[in-house]
Structure 1
């Protein structure tokens, strides 16, 4: 009989799926050997009125220390988010008509709030099973395997196909809320292509004499972001039509790594003022880069493991925690150079005799600092919240919001630090110089 601890485990796993598992159900195939978990979350998927779940089991067998085993205690079921709490905590009480409602009330397979698909009692003599189940009620469901037998392990190979049927009869392996995602990435690919063309015109044609090394690195960032959007669009397109990314997942994770490393490097280098304010980096600034770049590599490795396997992997939640922790660490580390530059400018304003120019630089870095924090906060918290609270039909909104925020951040950063002979922050007249001195004095007084 399953214990209360097993139900709590199922609750935690279901919550992890709600918060961390993407609702995209490409064809998955996984092997389990002597797995003793009480519940395994396979996928989350948003179904239309013509949805299907195809499950193929081969070589399934159980091993227990107990003398007898009830094969009906092992099985697959669907669970909607709405029925999550009821399935975990509620069981129908005994009644006069049914004084003995269930000999195994602790097993989630007996809950009236789940949609059972089949149990191991339906397997053939070789432990094989293959069937497609229709889903007629549109909603977002999680596919679970439940093991309600104590001290029992399961060995099996599982292939899952979750899809909707289009009006033309073709299969759509993307969740209802993910269907517009390929078009979204294709649109932003065009946006970055236009952005790159304009930036190359500004840096290589109009202001090539004023361009610094940081501007060439920013060019590389635009190229990496554009290639990332191309690979993401192709990856999602092939998953939608065929259930597999046809190798585009490799390109997707490669460019995800490259654009992440370059982005954090650009933010850190701009924060130090490297190239356009000073030609060198201090030791502490080099250490930041030496920390941020390996962290980004680690974060993208964790993201690849999470994306290419699924919640059925043992330790999947741990990999998600590693990814979130490392990503937050990168976001914090990359802000230190900006803070150091602001502190250095504030101190130099007292001695260098160029109050206006120093104030302009200080204003620039303050604005950059605020915008970086806003961008990181939005893409890490607001977008995450959109994924969890938005109706499953509109999960694409979080993807669109993240891409819009990224384009806006790039526009700000590239415009503020564009190459120019007379930058508005560093070319000031005498009146502005006097006004800046008064502003610095007032600032020192407030501090």
Structure 2
């Protein structure tokens, strides 16, 4: 029996996120896929997997004899082990994944008490310290499987007497404290920004209140995520905190992209209105953020066992890229308008200072998007599973730095430096514009 396993399966397994490790219940109905990834978890030297299978049934062409069902079942493997399995299949050393010595078998269907048994319960402790994916393999293409799989993966922490269960993957156990500490930092930023708005209330614009709203949403988002991870860590379930997390994550995502667009247009502090093309950007970005958040919820809640999981993952990535590109257009338009105004309205220094500010903001936005979407993902990929929290911290610190830069550069000023320009500064600005024009030519 030769079962070809294409490279796409490797991609599918590698796309499985570093799951929180919570207790998961996956319902599989009449599925004949050869490989079904279920979950991934970083184990310590005291890791345990509990597996409960109910409502189990087979349909289609059943193998004969029943002992052949040893090629249908669950196994654990690392990414390195999976590569070795692919090489073994390519070299025809094995015909089925479950025949490989590189994996750790958990349970195969030939171990059922009877051919008519519809449920199975067991725990697996000889795992070893590493990051493992829990996978279901079916080496019979004409055999469809239906079952409900409840999996619980956790590490035992503390002494031999306590044996406290930690349902967060190794490398993520510190995240509740990290998120809570970051929420406190944002709380302090909220208080600081309120004080700034109060002291300089005569020059406060609407955009500054919007910045305050964004900070509050980010703080609440981090607080809910801290509680979400904390409950999962202790009990294996979020106990409803995941719902609040999704709500504030949705509001935070929309408000952050909207803020970038509004600042990029100069709305409120440079002009009291939005042009039609700028409104179109907002009309496009907000619905796309709705789609992105829906996709994120589906990705987190359904898991890689769902046949549409990869599709939703691709939708999320595509929409996120489109949003990141769209928010750059208003900043580019503002830079272009300020350059033209610097040559025509006789206020070269004023417009040049604004132009410099918007150029800086453009660079910072691009750097922020690149770091949080590319660099953080690269860190997560190359970092050991024990230190996966470092990529989370890197992304959150980049976001914090971006918010601080935005607030500092666009804070309300009682004495607007744009309007305090003397003749020498005006002449210097004109000369700089001429030099830039000569350089472009």
Calculate the TM-score normalised by the size of structure 1: 0.94
Contact kept? 2:33, 2:141, Cα under 8 Å? no
User: Which residue does the alignment assign to 1:155?
Assistant: 146
Give the unaligned 5+ runs of structure 2.
none
Deviations 1:321-360 (A, max 9, x none): 1111100100000000000000111111111000000100
1:319 aligns with 2:312: yes
Of the three residues 102, 123, 128, the one matched with 1:132 is: 123
1:123 aligns with 2:133: no
1:170 aligns with 2:169: no
CA-based RMSD: 1.6
1:42 aligns with 2:38: yes
Distance 1:326 1:90 in 2: 38
Distance 1:349 1:439 in 2: 11
Q: What are the residue-to-residue correspondences of 1:2-401 with 2, within 5 Å?
A: 2-4=2-4, 6-17=5-16, 21-65=17-61, 68=64, 70-90=68-88, 105-124=94-113, 125-167=116-158, 168-203=162-197, 205-401=198-394
Provide the secondary structure at the position in 1 that maps to 2:177. helix
Calculate the TM-score normalised by the size of structure 2: 0.95
Report the CA distance between 1:309 and its aligned residue. 1.8
Report the CA distance between 1:36 and its aligned residue. 1.2
Deviations 1:105-126 (A, max 9, x none): 3210000100011101122332
Contact kept? 1:122, 1:129, Cα under 8 Å? no
Contact kept? 1:55, 1:132, Cα under 8 Å? yes
Provide the secondary structure at the position in 2 that maps to 1:49. coil
Provide the secondary structure at the position in 2 that maps to 1:176. coil
Change (3 A) 1:321 1:166: same
Provide the secondary structure at the position in 1 that maps to 2:421. coil
Distance 1:436 1:13 in 2: 56
Change (3 A) 1:61 1:185: same
Give the unaligned 5+ runs of structure 1.
95-101
Distance 1:93 1:209 in 2: 75
Provide the secondary structure at the position in 2 that maps to 1:215. helix
Deviations 1:139-195 (A, max 9, x none): 000000000012111000100000000113110000111111111100100100000
Provide the secondary structure at the position in 1 that maps to 2:273. coil
Report the CA distance between 1:418 and its aligned residue. 0.4
Distance 1:92 1:8 in 2: 11
Distance 1:186 1:312 in 2: 31
Report the CA distance between 1:7 and its aligned residue. 4.7
Report the CA distance between 1:24 and its aligned residue. 1.6
Contact kept? 1:53, 1:135, Cα under 8 Å? no
Distance 1:67 1:295 in 2: 48
| Worse-superposed segment, 424-433 or 118-127 | 424-433
Say how many residue pairs are matched: 433
Contact kept? 2:39, 2:133, Cα under 8 Å? yes
Distance 1:270 1:9 in 2: 42
Distance 1:295 1:150 in 2: 38
Distance 1:314 1:235 in 2: 26
Report the CA distance between 1:295 and its aligned residue. 0.6
Report the CA distance between 1:67 and its aligned residue. 6.7
Distance 1:73 1:330 in 2: 45
Change (3 A) 1:224 1:425: same
Report the CA distance between 1:72 and its aligned residue. 1.5
Distance 2:101 2:418 in 1: 67
Contact kept? 2:14, 2:79, Cα under 8 Å? no
Report the CA distance between 1:220 and its aligned residue. 0.4
Distance 2:209 2:170 in 1: 40
Contact kept? 1:10, 1:88, Cα under 8 Å? no
Contact kept? 1:225, 1:255, Cα under 8 Å? yes
Report the CA distance between 1:61 and its aligned residue. 1.5
| Worse-superposed segment, 173-182 or 123-132 | 123-132
Q: What are the residue-to-residue correspondences of 1:428-443 with 2, within 5 Å?
A: 428-443=421-436
